[in-house]
Amino acid sequence: MKPLFSYGTTSQLLAAGLLALPVALAAQTASPTQEADWRRANDAVGALKRGHADVLKWEQANTSAATATPASTLGVAMPTTEAAVRMAWTVHRDLARALARLGPKNEQLIAEGRWTELDPSLQRRVKDASEVLEVAAAGRKAWIEAVAAQQVLKHQRDMLEAAQAAYELGQRMVTVGNWSKLQLSPVQLAASNARMNLRRAQQAAAQAQANLVKTMGQTGLQDGFALPDQLPAIPVQPMTAAELQKRAEAVRSHLPDAESLRNRALSKSAMNVYWAAHALAQDSQGDILKTREFITEETVLHYNGMLKSVWDLLDEVRNQSQATVDAIGAQRDFWLVEADLQWVLQGGEPDSFVSLGGAGGDAPTAAAH
């Protein structure tokens, strides 16, 4: 499925900001020879119809396919949730008989996360089927959280790079007397905040990777897992109320009365959270991010026309990155909620559901299994 938005925009805008930075710095410190060099470079950019905006579009169109490789090149490759589920099963050797009783078809459906296609009576007919599903859910969620944390870490690095670039320019302006230390202070504070956010993202990514390693039973693994650059795209349309209600009723018909009542309440909560999570993810990746991308491109164009300063450009880098981090958080929450919903629709009982609306870099409060 084609992603609803691209995560490449932030790094491309960062390139524009940093491309602009030497020009601004040169205006403060360049020798005649250096000044001639950067003026020739700037003239070359200016020869394009839309300056830096066209440089970035050319760069995006000519990027090597190698950039699509996983962000982490170390450790054991774990490209999908299916791979995570299957490895998690291998840790629990006592589930081998249950998996054999389920058969290859059901095993594949569970590994791929297509639980709504399973026989509603499966847990009642196959001994230890619930344990197979519980381990699968834990594996899926650990993988989702680790990939999302890795994504957020990348964009926090982008934001720090932009903030440090702005601070460097501000320091040069103070040195030559164009700025006061008071004018520099907000830029310095932004750089400090970006460093703190990066440290938080580094810790969150390390914790998520450690949890994934633990869930997979690979505690001796030194380099962790090599994960993909991005989470899977959310579906364009969520599952409908009619689909989910039909599935829930089919499952409840095979449960004892007490469990059926509990499942009815859990199903209602899980469905509501699922639809809310899909709407939030779609909004953050659709209108919000698209509007931010429009502002980004217009900022670059205005910078090229000398109507915006390099400060405006670097500020937009931070805004774009923050919007992307928020979108990643919403996408992560959707997939965690979807995992809980499928577990409930197979008769499972999560202790709680994901708390929506948190910052992208923060680990959500997810259901425990």
Return the DSSP state at 67. G
Query: What is the pLDDT at residue 39?
Result: 52
* CA proximity to 280, closest of 327, 235, 239: 327
Residue type at 76 in one-letter notation = V
- Which tokens is 298 given? 């217009």
Q: Which residue has the higher pLDDT, 33 or 124?
A: 124
Is the whole-model pTM more than 0.85?
no
Report the SS3 class of residue 76: strand
- The burial class, CB within 10 Å (0-12 / 13-18 / 19+), for 250 is middle
**What are the E-state strand segments in the chain?**
76-77, 225-226
Q: Over range 90-102, report the average pLDDT.
A: 92
CA distance 266 to 90: 30
For the stretch 255-269, pLDDT in tens is: 888 889 999 999 999
228 neighbors 70 (Cβ within 8 angstroms):
yes
Q: What is the DSSP letter of 226?
A: E
The mean per-residue pLDDT over the stretch 215-241 comes to 90
**Range among 57-61, 231-235, 308-312 rated most confident:** 231-235
Position 127 scores a pLDDT of 87
pLDDT at 353 over 90: no
> Is 232 or 32 the better-scoring residue by pLDDT?
232
Architecture of the 8-344 domain: Up-down Bundle (1.20)
Q: What is the percent of the chain with per-residue pLDDT over 70, rounded to a whole number?
A: 76
Strand partners, 225: 76
